[in-house]
Amino acid sequence: MAIPKRRILLIDDDARVREMLQELITGFGYDVDVAEDGQAGLNKFKQQPVDLVITDLMMPRVNGLQLAAELRVLHPSVPIILVTGFATDAAAQEARRLGLRMVSKPVGATLLKAAIAAAIEAR
Cβ partners under 8 Å of residue 29, min gap 6: 5
- Measured over the CA atoms of residue 43, residue 44, residue 50 and residue 54, the dihedral's sign is negative
Q: Please determine, for residue 1, whether its predicted confidence score (pLDDT) is greater than 60.
A: no
pLDDT of 71-94, one tens digit each?
999 999 999 999 988 778 888 888
Q: Are 42 and 49 in contact (CB under 8 A)?
A: no
Q: Please determine, for residue 69, whether its predicted confidence score (pLDDT) is greater than 70.
A: yes
Q: What is the pTM of this model?
A: 0.93
pLDDT of 6-54, one tens digit each?
999 999 999 999 999 999 999 999 999 999 999 999 999 999 989 999 9
Domain boundaries, the chain: 7-122
pLDDT of residue 9: 98
Fold of 7-122: Rossmann fold (3.40.50)
Q: Are 93 and 113 in contact (CB under 8 A)?
A: no
- Under the banding of pLDDT at 50, 70 and 90, the label for residue 3 is low
Whole-number CA gyration radius for the chain = 13
For the chain, give the DSSP string: -PPPPPEEEEE-S-HHHHHHHHHHHHHTT-EEEEESSHHHHHHHHHHS--SEEEEESS-SSS-HHHHHHHHHHH-TT--EEEEES---HHHHHHHHHTT-EEEESSPPHHHHHHHHHHHHHH-
